[in-house]
Structure 1
Amino acid sequence: MKTASLCGITMALTLALGCSNGPEELAEEAEGFALLRHDAATLEATYHSGGTSVRALLVESAPNVVEVTYDFGDPVIGFRVDYNQGEGHFMPSGSPLDAAQSRLISGLAEGIAKAVPEQDTARSRVEDAAVRQTTFMQIVPVGEALTPYRYVAERGWVHISCTCGSQNIGGYTRQAGRGCSCTGGSGQGCKGRCGQGCGITSTPNCVGSTAYTQDCAKHDYGLGSFAAASDDYSFASNNCSCSGVGSCY
């Protein structure tokens, strides 16, 4: 499989918005989140902090097919998510993701979450993909060489209970479920959530999906790879409702 660049991930992106020259274009922009374009078929946004930037570009190139690019200049990380076929492609290009670049994703995810409807049923296909794939980017490993791979929804996922408690997460028993205090004794709460976690003292809005699955829980505990959770992040149905703005989920 050929790896992706922002100009080559698909012809659809080029025709829709043209080529980006990467973070150099953003050098004079203000710190923080900026929504550059947002319509039924396109979402483009940037997040700039401390001299580093990421540009997210999502285009629905065909009905229910979304091309996604996160351009750090180097690396460029792309996805192609085909909801018709139930398959996705992870397409990294360039150097490993570094810690400063990874930190940009949280700000980007929060900005996108505020720019789209909170409830997933009210989102367009591009909006939902923007939320899900950006939160997936939060678990892409830092400092590791990334290779392309394909993932498919037909392999399925196993939902876990929304109620925090000791659960079977696929060969292991760990605490998982909703709640900022559902940490399993360490790290962030909301263990098993296929999306941004939550801290013990913070009460964030719903960011990402409200799907809780075994593979996402295994990843949260370091028992499974980020790649194994790819289909859960992109395709798993939301089995746990959000309890509202300003509350733990």
Structure 2
Amino acid sequence: MKKLFLAVMTMVMAIGCSNGPTQAVDEAEGFALLQRDATTLEATYRSGGASVRMLAVETSANVVEVTYDFGNPVIGFHLDYTQGVGKFMPEGNALDAAQAQLIAPLLEGISNAIPAEGQRTRSEEAAMRQTSFMQIVPTGELLSPYQYVSARGWTHISCSCGSQNIGGYTRQAGMGCGCTGGSGQGCKGRCGQGCGITSTPACVGTTAYTQDCAKHDYGLGTFSAASDDYSFASNNCSCSGVGTCY
């Protein structure tokens, strides 16, 4: 995967799309957008000595490679939207808690840097969705590669918060920071960033609500089972905007 990241970086540099020296940018704390064009989105987030570099490149029509380089590990995704196939490709050590904490502010930075839903390039949409997915990748355990396909489908749930069937279980799920099911964050069932009782996060990530994402939120399903939902599920709920509990 490190080789994949380096290969994609080499390709990007070869076509002359650099935004200038990246070393100084990388050393700065916080979010930095390094590159954004029709096929590429590259950004970093650094805090407390830990950093992550996200690179999303549409390498051919409807095929996007997304990598998250923490130095060690490097976690990648291969997304073929024509075939409806995704690959999860981790390499190196387990993701640790400090590294995982970089993902939410990285996602917020990306959200602020790119257009609203429906106006994004393929690489921008992939970056949003896979960064959302990175929020549920387990920490402290070695990860194995796997493939997932959209043909297996997903089942949307209602956007309205209430008692719902989430695939063999009945739980509270739907939009709203108060939709916690009695514990944890709200917005249960969302394939993306959750929301808390006392916080009103920006509208970032997907607005798809599905059974597999709800099962994961309740510890009833694995992150891998929700992979196709995060990557490919259509957005069935609308977001009312930045600063709104949704």
The two structures share one fold, judged by TM-score above 0.5: yes
Q: Could you say what secondary structure the match of 1:209 adopts?
A: coil
**Match for 1:122 among 119, 122, 138?**
119
Partner of 1:79: 77
Partner of 2:11: 15
Deviation at 1:116, TM superposition (A): 1.0
Structure 2 CA distance for aligned equivalents of residues 214 and 64 of structure 1 = 26
Q: CA, structure 1 residues 195+28, in 2 after alignment: closer, same or farther (shift >3 Å)? A: closer
1:47-66 alignment runs, 5 A limit: 47-66=45-64
Partner of 1:151: 148
Task: Check the 8 A contact 2:41/2:55 in 1, yes or no.
Answer: yes
Deviation at 1:244, TM superposition (A): 1.8
Task: Check the 8 A contact 1:13/1:67 in 2, yes or no.
Answer: no
Structure 2 CA distance for aligned equivalents of residues 27 and 209 of structure 1 = 28
Structure 1 CA distance for aligned equivalents of residues 96 and 175 of structure 2 = 30
1:125-204 alignment runs, 5 A limit: 125-204=122-201
Across the aligned residues of Structure 1 and Structure 2, the Cα RMSD in angstroms comes to 1.6
Structure 2 CA distance for aligned equivalents of residues 34 and 170 of structure 1 = 40
Task: Read off the aligned partner of 2:135 and give its amino acid letter.
Answer: Q
Task: Read off the aligned partner of 1:193 and give its amino acid letter.
Answer: R
Structure 1 CA distance for aligned equivalents of residues 215 and 106 of structure 2 = 25
1:30-41 alignment runs, 5 A limit: 30-41=28-39
Partner of 1:207: 204
Q: CA, structure 1 residues 14+184, in 2 after alignment: closer, same or farther (shift >3 Å)? A: same
How does the TM-score come out when normalised to structure 2? 0.93
Deviation at 1:70, TM superposition (A): 0.2
Task: Read off the aligned partner of 1:202 and give its amino acid letter.
Answer: S
Deviation at 1:8, TM superposition (A): 2.5
Task: Read off the aligned partner of 2:194 and give its amino acid letter.
Answer: G
Q: Could you say what secondary structure the match of 1:121 adopts?
A: coil
Deviation at 1:246, TM superposition (A): 1.5
Are 2:55 and 1:89 aligned? no
Structure 1 CA distance for aligned equivalents of residues 159 and 243 of structure 2 = 18
Deviation at 1:28, TM superposition (A): 6.5
Identity of aligned residues (%): 71
1:98-109 alignment runs, 5 A limit: 98-109=96-107
1:37-94: CA deviation from partner (whole Å, max 9, x where unpaired) = 0111000000000001000001000011100100000000000001010000000000
Partner of 1:217: 214
Partner of 2:18: none
